[in-house]
Amino acid sequence: MKVILLENMEKTGKAGEVVEVRDGYGRNYLIPKKLAIAATGKNLGRLAHHRKTIQAKDARRRKDAQAFKEQIENLSITIPCKVGESDRLFGSVTAMDIAQALKDKQVEIDKRWVKLEEPLKTLGVYTIPIYLDKDVEASLKVWLVKE
């Protein structure tokens, strides 16, 4: 089944592309969730209009991500932690903890946007990358201090 994607799909394709997908995936998932439309003659004629709206939506999303990046980079969060010998944490600080600390400062992000190589296990100051869009990355300063 050929469909025209209306949203970027990670493994399927970019918005505005005509792609071949399995019938069930297109009929039962993409089309009902308005992620794609069937690639009929009528819809292929409308493809140019869809591409313009998709580009406008991408530009708006990128502009919002840039504004959100500036907001995040102006923040610095402090997370109090219980520590043992040699300032090693009991447990660790994960992406979920960082997302929750930002939520406490009235900044909502998804924990999947926080990219940690591995959980933080010692006290100190860390610069954490937060991916807001495919080419927009913010840096957040995180302080881990004794509780």
Task: Give ranges for CATH 3.40.5.10 in the chain.
Answer: 2-45
Residue 133's pLDDT is 84
Query: Is the separation of the CB atoms in 80 and 105 below 8 Å?
Result: no
User: Of 139 and 45, which is predicted with more confidence?
Assistant: 139
CA distance 130 to 137: 6
CATH 3.40.50.720 correct for 2-45: no
Task: Give ranges for CATH 3.10.430.100 in the chain.
Answer: 69-146
CA distance 25 to 113: 27
CATH 3.30.70.3270 correct for 69-146: no
Task: Over range 118-131, report the average pLDDT.
Answer: 91
DSSP state at residue 123: S
Reported as a single tens digit per residue, the pLDDT across 74-120 is 999 999 989 888 778 888 899 999 999 999 989 899 999 999 988 89
Residue 84's pLDDT is 83
Residue 130's pLDDT is 93
